[in-house]
Amino acid sequence: MNRLRIAVTGGSGRIGSALIRHLLERGHQVVNLDIRYPHASVCRHVHADLTRREQVQPALEGLDAVCHLGEIPSLGTAAPEHVYAHNTAAGAVVMQTAADLGIPRLLYASSIQVYGMSYPHVLPPLRAVLDESHPLRPQQGYALSKVANEAYAQILATHRTSSVAILRLPWVCDIELTPERESEHWGWFESRITRMEEVGAYVHVSDAAHAMALAIEHPRPGCEIYQLCAEEGLFHRPVRGWMNEAYPDLPLLPGDWPAFRSPYSSERFRSHFPWQPQWNALALLRSRRALAGEGRR
């Protein structure tokens, strides 16, 4: 595998820092563009406001790929209009600069919130099995910024012969379950299960980082859109019965659908890249509880 020169915007954040570590482990040369300083210095860091091209362009010159993660990750930390304005400005600057410099590969981290099934204005899904062709129905400023940036990336891929991958991510979990903290973590999962936000979808940060690395290392022509999810969702009980009760107007999931399998499909990404999510919260909890039960016998 060739050693690539890669920029990760937002590399000081949870996902970005995991991606940088993964890329370094795979032998790549990485630069982190972020207005925040990283917790640990593992690669070159460029302090940059991503909405200002004069700060971004010098750091991108001569690179092989750009992974754009450097946006406000939710509505919880700023006013909706600020989240939308900042994210679209940063996305436009980073992606346009990469295209103008002739950088061969661009990866954009989007969100499954573009489908409209997320807090605070939750719409029901339109299909039982959710893939990348589900209609886009953003219900708030963060989701709308992702739709706008996806469209910008697709325009660049059409007119600038760029190679673009858009990854729609669910909640990205960075919790490591340990026997000592299992009950604490499961209590946190319980709140997401109760809300059924994003129909139980999530992916672990290590699996997301691996997928992003593969998408960078194996570029495809044009613009491809993918979603990533853990094999099983966060469900109390089999998903087929729950979805039938929650959304009676939807077609049923197939009769042979595995009991806790996520209705979000990652099949498109797996068909193009050698990726299989390794981290499964439900499987870990089942195995540890089974071991605990054996220990009490």
Domains of the chain (ranges plus CATH)?
5-172+203-230+263-278 (3.40.50.720)
Query: How far is 169 from 188, CA to CA, in rounded Å?
Result: 20
Query: What is the reported pTM?
Result: 0.93
User: Distance of CA 128 to CAs 124, 134, 253, Å?
Assistant: 10, 10, 6
**pLDDT tens digit sequence for 176-226:** 656 566 566 666 666 666 667 788 899 999 999 999 999 999 999 999 999
pLDDT in the model for residue 119: 79
**Does residue 118 contact residue 198 with C-beta atoms inside 8 Å?**
yes
Q: Which residues of the chain have pLDDT under 50?
A: 291-292, 294-297
pLDDT in the model for residue 296: 39
Share of the chain residues as helix, strand and coil, in percent rounded to the nearest 5: 45, 15, 40
pLDDT in the model for residue 182: 58
pLDDT in the model for residue 58: 98
